[in-house]
């Protein structure tokens, strides 16, 4: 048991969130560099070093320089075992991100120093707040001209409604970015070149009271630093670990992921401030991570990660106990015992088979098509289920047909698999079969990805016809006769794959009218898995 406890206490699982282009994937790369998982870090833009980032593996990602699907990376550093969940920053893929946040214990928010808080950050932040998970802020791109540091902090507080406490403080920005001051040690850290950020680089530490500091950064910057620190000490929130763990105070760090500056400092502090895996809620009460019974939930399904084999991997977060390869677990939603085969841990697309894993870890197991997002697996005699993961309402709809009617089978297989991953939702007309399929997505870029993947992975060409609907509602009433629902002329009755009835509307006025005309009808914006 003590071994189990030790192993679980070493684990840290966090998600990295940000607006597109704030430098999230680059930061992930640098963590791996320090963890010794890769020797040379690539960047998404990759001009000087033509390597693509390790966490971006789908062709379409390399073409567009964006992360489309969340990837999971594990590495060891300083006696800890760290699981990073890298999430897509692009708003069109937000659903995947929301689910990923369900599997993390804390979040690192990356903000671009020249732009401050952006739209996508707000959305993701809301999900973190909803879950009360600790949020750490890394203000990136200090090697470019940045906004005033006090304004950046003010922006976070105003926009996101969370107090901030800078752990370190930047000196200058852009070409004049001299280093960072650590408020705890009262030392300034300067940094030498890192071969465009591909190597770790060397640091110098100088005390703020040391005369050598002026030689290093110049008098003007030293005086400015002393002045700003006085201001800061008087104005910023006191560091309070209790508030951090409730998600009400965010420790802030400054640096540049591209040049590696401040990344290691951040990593060290982060590991000290975060906790080992947290307990989870289930329908039988709280599940303790240190329990001997294994339990996990599926938060993501990814098909065709390996071109050579048509495969599906179900990613699960282990919530308690220890996993051993080949063990038999109870699949709560399927109601039967199963063997988890081919368990893998991923370094993006490089996989390695895992023999054992512990609470806090993320593993991928082969899915023969039995898992859905939100499923619970356990060895406990109590057959509990973890809280469901919400499905977000799609905002864009299109009718999809395959061009070659002979490829019906491939088309159905492809579209069902992609839907099970949760990237798209598929519906059919209420009174017809599967001749015509309606696809709903959260962001329009998903349509391109669907087209691309059906063509590339299943060899099926499709035609899409955009539909005018913008609102979708799940019907909560169990005993209602859908045929008798009186709606507006623009309302459409559809059903999902599980046969549940739904309504589509062109505008919100029609939603209100339909509720007025049908007394007792209950509609909801979220579907529950």
Quote the tokens at residue 22.
């704030």
pLDDT (tens, 9 = 90+) of the chain, 529 residues, equals 568 888 888 899 888 887 767 677 777 777 777 766 544 444 443 333 344 454 544 555 444 444 334 467 777 888 888 888 876 655 555 566 677 788 888 888 888 888 877 766 776 777 777 777 888 998 888 778 878 888 888 888 887 788 888 888 888 777 777 788 888 888 888 765 554 545 555 667 777 777 777 777 777 877 887 888 888 777 667 788 888 888 888 899 988 877 777 788 888 888 888 888 888 888 888 888 998 899 998 888 776 555 555 567 788 889 998 988 888 888 888 888 888 766 666 544 455 667 788 888 888 888 777 888 888 888 888 888 887 666 667 888 999 988 888 888 888 888 888 887 777 888 888 776 656 789 988 777 788 888 888 888 888 998 889 999 988 888 887 777 878 888 888 888 888 777 788 888 988 888 888 888 888 888 877 665 4
Q: State which fold the 390-528 domain adopts.
A: Alpha-Beta Plaits (3.30.70)
Nearest CA-CA partner of 174 in 206, 199, 149:
149
DSSP assignment of 427-478? EEETTS-SSSEEEEESSTHHHHHHHHHHHHHH---EEEEEE---EEEEE--S
CB 270 within 8 A of CB 107: no
Q: Classify domain 16-66+107-273 by CATH number.
A: 3.40.50.300
What gap in Å lies between CA 327 and CA 291, rounded to an integer? Answer: 17
> CA–CA distance from 184 to each of 188, 189, 208, 275, 362 (Å)?
11, 12, 12, 20, 34
Helix (H), strand (E), coil (C) string for 119-179: HHHHHHHHHHHHHCCCEEEEEECCCCCCCCHHHHHHHHHHHHCCEEEECEEEECCHHHCCE
What gap in Å lies between CA 179 and CA 202, rounded to an integer? Answer: 12
Quote the tokens at residue 304.
């065709």
What gap in Å lies between CA 176 and CA 194, rounded to an integer? Answer: 17
DSSP assignment of 173-224? -GGG--EEEETTTTEEEEE---TTTTS---EEEEETT-THHHHHH-HHHHHH
> Residue 255: CB partners within 8 Å, gap ≥ 6?
138, 139, 140, 142, 180, 261, 262, 263, 265, 266
Sequence ranges of the binding site for GTP: 18-25, 86-90, 140-143
CB 437 within 8 A of CB 454: no
Residues making up the chain, counted from first to last: 529
**Other C-beta atoms lying within 10 Å of the C-beta of residue 231:** 11
CB 488 within 8 A of CB 471: no
Q: State which fold the 280-378 domain adopts.
A: Elongation Factor Tu (Ef-tu); domain 3 (2.40.30)
Nearest CA-CA partner of 399 in 458, 447, 431:
447
What gap in Å lies between CA 399 and CA 429, rounded to an integer? Answer: 10
Q: Which DSSP category does 256 fall into?
A: B
Quote the tokens at residue 450.
């669907």
**Coil, helix or strand at residue 516:** helix
What gap in Å lies between CA 359 and CA 316, rounded to an integer? Answer: 11
What gap in Å lies between CA 126 and CA 403, rounded to an integer? Answer: 41
CB 37 within 8 A of CB 73: yes
Residue with tokens 């930047």: 170
Strand partners, 15: 85, 107
CB 36 within 8 A of CB 104: no
Residue 520 CB-density burial (10 A; 0-12 exposed, 13-18 middle, 19+ buried) = exposed
What gap in Å lies between CA 115 and CA 163, rounded to an integer? Answer: 19
Radius of gyration of the chain, Cα coordinates, nearest whole angstrom: 25
* Per-residue pLDDT tens over the stretch 364-399: 888 777 888 888 888 888 888 887 666 667 888 999
Going from N- to C-terminal start, the domains of the chain cover 16-66+107-273, 280-378, 390-528
Nearest CA-CA partner of 349 in 72, 81, 104, 95:
72
Quote the tokens at residue 153.
């902090």
Question: Residue 452 phi/psi, 5° resolution?
Answer: -60, -50
* Per-residue pLDDT tens over the stretch 274-306: 888 888 888 888 888 998 899 998 888 776 555
Quote the tokens at residue 247.
């998600």
* Per-residue pLDDT tens over the stretch 231-255: 877 766 778 888 888 888 889 998 8
């Amino acid at each position: 048991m003590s071994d189990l406890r030790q192993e679980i206490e070493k684990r840290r699982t966090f998600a990295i969130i940000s607006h597109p282009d704030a430098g999230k994937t680059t930061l992930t790369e640098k963590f791996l560099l320090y963890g010794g998982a890769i020797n040379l870090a690539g960047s998404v833009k990759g001009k000087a070093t033509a390597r693509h980032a390790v966490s971006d593996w789908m062709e379409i990602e390399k073409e567009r320089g964006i992360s489309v699907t969340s990837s999971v990376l594990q590495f060891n550093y300083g006696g800890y075992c760290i699981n990073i969940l890298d999430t897509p920053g692009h708003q069109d893929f937000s659903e995947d991100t929301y689910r990923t946040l369900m599997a993390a214990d804390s979040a690192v928010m990356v903000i671009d120093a020249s732009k401050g808080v952006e739209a996508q950050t707000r959305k993701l932040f809301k999900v973190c707040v909803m879950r009360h998970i600790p949020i750490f802020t890394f203000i990136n791109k200090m090697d470019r001209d940045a906004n005033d540091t006090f304004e950046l902090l003010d922006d976070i507080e105003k926009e996101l409604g969370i107090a901030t406490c800078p752990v370190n403080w930047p000196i200058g920005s852009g070409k004049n970015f001299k280093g960072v001051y650590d408020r705890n040690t009262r030392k300034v850290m300067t940094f030498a070149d890192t071969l465009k950020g591909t190597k770790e680089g060397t640091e110098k530490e100088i005390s703020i009271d040391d005369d050598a500091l002026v030689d290093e950064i110049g008098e003007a910057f030293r005086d400015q630093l002393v002045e700003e620190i006085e201001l800061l000490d008087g104005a910023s929130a006191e560091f309070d670990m209790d508030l951090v763990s409730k998600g009400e105070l965010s420790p802030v760090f400054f640096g540049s992921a591209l040049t590696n500056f401040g990344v290691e400092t951040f990593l060290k502090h982060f590991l000290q401030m975060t906790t080992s895996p947290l307990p989870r809620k289930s329908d039988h009460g709280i599940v303790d991570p240190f329990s001997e019974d294994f339990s996990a939930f599926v938060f993501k399904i990814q098909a065709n990660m390996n071109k050579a084999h048509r495969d599906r991997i179900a990613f699960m977060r282990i919530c308690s106990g220890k996993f051993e390869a080949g063990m038999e677990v109870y699949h709560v939603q399927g109601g039967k015992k199963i063997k988890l085969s081919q368990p893998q841990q991923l370094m993006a697309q490089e996989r390695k088979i895992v023999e054992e894993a512990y609470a806090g870890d993320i593993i991928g197991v082969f899915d023969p098509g039995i898992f859905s997002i939100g499923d619970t697996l356990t060895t406990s005699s109590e057959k509990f289920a973890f809280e469901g993961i919400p499905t977000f309402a799609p905002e864009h709809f299109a009718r999809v047909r395959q061009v070659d009617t002979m490829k019906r089978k491939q088309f159905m297989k492809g579209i069902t698999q992609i839907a099970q991953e949760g990237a798209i939702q598929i519906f059919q007309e209420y009174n017809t079969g599967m001749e015509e399929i309606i696809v709903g997505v959260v962001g329009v870029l998903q349509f391109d990805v669907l087209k691309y993947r059906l063509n590339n992975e299943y060899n099926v060409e499709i035609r899409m016809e955009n539909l005018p609907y913008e609102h979708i509602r799940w019907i909560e009433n169990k005993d209602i006769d859908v045929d008798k629902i009186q709606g507006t002329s623009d309302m459409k009755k559809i059903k999902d794959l599980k046969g549940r009835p739904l309504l589509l509307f062109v505008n919100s006025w029609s939603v209100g009218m339909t509720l007025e005309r049908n007394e007792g009808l209950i509609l909801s914006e979220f579907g529950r898995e």
